[in-house]
Structure 1
Amino acid sequence: MRPDPGAVDAGGAAALLRDASDVLVLGHVGPDPDTLGCAVSVATAMRRRGVPAVVAVGDPGPIADRLRTLDPDGIVVHAADAPPSPDLLVCCDASERRRLGSLADRLDTAGASLVIDHHVSFVPFGTHQFVDPTAPATVTLVRQVLAELGEPLDANQASALFAGLYTDTGGLRAGGAPTLRLAAELVEAGAEPASLMRGLNGDRPFGWLAALATILAGAHREPDAVAGAGLVWARVDAATAGRFGEQVGSVMGQLAATAGHGVAALLTECQDGTWSVSLRGTGRPDLSAVARRLGGGGHRGAAGAELGGTADGVLEALREALVAETVGQGT
Structure 2
Amino acid sequence: MTVTPQTNTTLPAIAEALKARDNFVICGHVSPDGDCLGSALGLAWALRQLGKQVTCVLARDEEPPSDLRFLPGADALVAAVRYEGPCDCFIAVDVPTVERLGDGAALQDKAALTVTIDHHAVPQAMSDLSYTDPDSASTTLLVWELAKCLQVAGDRLVATCCYTGLMTDTGRFQHGNTDAAAFKGAWEMVLAGANPGEVARDFYQNRTLASVELEERTVAHMSLRADGEAALSWLSLADFADCGAVKADAEPMIDLLRSLRGVRVACMLREQDGEVRGSFRAKDDTDVAAIAGEFGGGGHRAAAGFTIHDSLEGAVARVAARLGIEAPKLPEA
Q: Aligning the two structures, in what range does the TM-score lie when normalised by the shorter sequence?
A: 0.7 to 0.9
Distance 2:123 2:278 in 1: 18
* Aligned equivalent of 1:302: 303
Structure 1 residue 320: Cα displacement:
5.8
| Contact preservation (8 Å) 1:43, 1:75 | no
* Aligned equivalent of 1:170: 171
Are residues 124 and 77 of structure 1, via their aligned partners in 2, closer, same or farther at CA, if it must alter by over 3 Å? same
Distance 1:283 1:113 in 2: 37
- The alignment status of 1:248 with 2:270, answered yes or no, reads no
- The alignment status of 1:144 with 2:145, answered yes or no, reads yes
Are residues 286 and 211 of structure 1, via their aligned partners in 2, closer, same or farther at CA, if it must alter by over 3 Å? closer
* Aligned equivalent of 1:187: 190
How far does the alpha carbon of each residue in 1:267-307 deviate from its partner, in whole angstroms, 9 at most, with x for none?
0011x131110000146431112112211110001000111
* Aligned equivalent of 1:327: none
Residue aligned with 1:24, SS: strand
Structure 2: unaligned runs, 5 residues or longer: 1-5, 325-333
| Contact preservation (8 Å) 2:35, 2:168 | yes
* Aligned equivalent of 2:327: none
State which drifts further: 247-256 or 307-316. Answer: 307-316
Distance 1:304 1:291 in 2: 6
Residue aligned with 2:259, SS: helix
How far does the alpha carbon of each residue in 1:202-222 deviate from its partner, in whole angstroms, 9 at most, with x for none?
533445444322220120002
| Contact preservation (8 Å) 1:120, 1:300 | no
Matches within 5 A, 1:64-143: 64-72=65-73, 74-83=75-84, 86-121=87-122, 124-143=125-144
Structure 1: unaligned runs, 5 residues or longer: 324-331
Distance 1:298 1:263 in 2: 15
Structure 1 residue 197: Cα displacement:
1.7
- The alignment status of 1:231 with 2:234, answered yes or no, reads no
* Aligned equivalent of 2:319: 318
Structure 1 residue 128: Cα displacement:
1.6
Are residues 233 and 135 of structure 1, via their aligned partners in 2, closer, same or farther at CA, if it must alter by over 3 Å? same
| Contact preservation (8 Å) 1:263, 1:282 | yes
State which drifts further: 150-159 or 139-148. Answer: 150-159
* Aligned equivalent of 2:265: 263
Residue aligned with 1:258, SS: coil
Length, aligned pairs only? 314
Letter in 2 for 1:194: G
| Contact preservation (8 Å) 1:241, 1:268 | no
Q: Normalized against structure 1, the TM-score is what? A: 0.87
Distance 1:94 1:14 in 2: 19
Structure 1 residue 138: Cα displacement:
0.6
Which of 180, 201, 212 is the equivalent residue of 2:215? Answer: 212
| Contact preservation (8 Å) 2:60, 2:81 | no
Are residues 64 and 19 of structure 1, via their aligned partners in 2, closer, same or farther at CA, if it must alter by over 3 Å? same
* Aligned equivalent of 1:328: none
Distance 1:213 1:73 in 2: 30
How far does the alpha carbon of each residue in 1:108-130 deviate from its partner, in whole angstroms, 9 at most, with x for none?
11101111110145653122210
Are residues 211 and 134 of structure 1, via their aligned partners in 2, closer, same or farther at CA, if it must alter by over 3 Å? closer
| Contact preservation (8 Å) 2:81, 2:103 | no
Distance 1:50 1:136 in 2: 29
Are residues 107 and 48 of structure 1, via their aligned partners in 2, closer, same or farther at CA, if it must alter by over 3 Å? same
Are residues 314 and 140 of structure 1, via their aligned partners in 2, closer, same or farther at CA, if it must alter by over 3 Å? same
CA RMSD of aligned residues (A): 2.3
Are residues 33 and 209 of structure 1, via their aligned partners in 2, closer, same or farther at CA, if it must alter by over 3 Å? closer
Residue aligned with 1:129, SS: strand
| Contact preservation (8 Å) 1:24, 1:89 | yes
